[in-house]
Homo-oligomer: A and B are copies of this chain.
């Protein structure tokens, strides 16, 4: 049988799957992006990203498990928890940047076919 897929393509494929397994989904990159500049508390994130606490909790755990965020409990009055990116997460910056760049540059193109939100736009 002819070798349809070269070993190069295979490993390429595998590497991409590895990445996608970690960062795919609706939220992970957005969360990491939100943590890019500063440390953020749980509820801050729910508000900023408009994500339900249930989902956020799960996503943060995933990210923590993959060593991309660090969770810190601060013994304040009611107790606050701060999330911050790890150094490892910083290695995702080029990827995040690429995602942002593409969305920014090709916004109109995307808008033509689909565009799900923003209620500020009058209907």
In the bound complex, what is the Cα–Cα distance between A30 and B24 (angstroms)?
Answer: 13
Q: What B residues does A65 contact at CB under 8 A?
A: 113-114
The verdict on A99 contacting B16 (CB below 8 Å), with A24-B24, A110-B21 known, is: yes
Interface residues of A, dominant DSSP? helix
Q: A: which residues have CB within 8 A of B?
A: 4-5, 7, 9-22, 24-26, 29-30, 33-34, 44, 47-49, 65-67, 88, 91-92, 94-107, 109-111, 113-118, 123
Residues A105 and B91 in contact, CB atoms below 8 Å apart:
yes
Besides A12-B100, A67-B113, A94-B101, 10 other A-B contacts (C-beta < 8 A): A16-B30, A16-B96, A16-B99, A18-B111, A18-B115, A20-B30, A24-B24, A24-B26, A95-B95, A95-B98
Cβ-neighbour of A106 out of B30, B88, B107, B114 (below 8 A): B88
Q: What B residues does A114 contact at CB under 8 A?
A: 21-22, 65-66
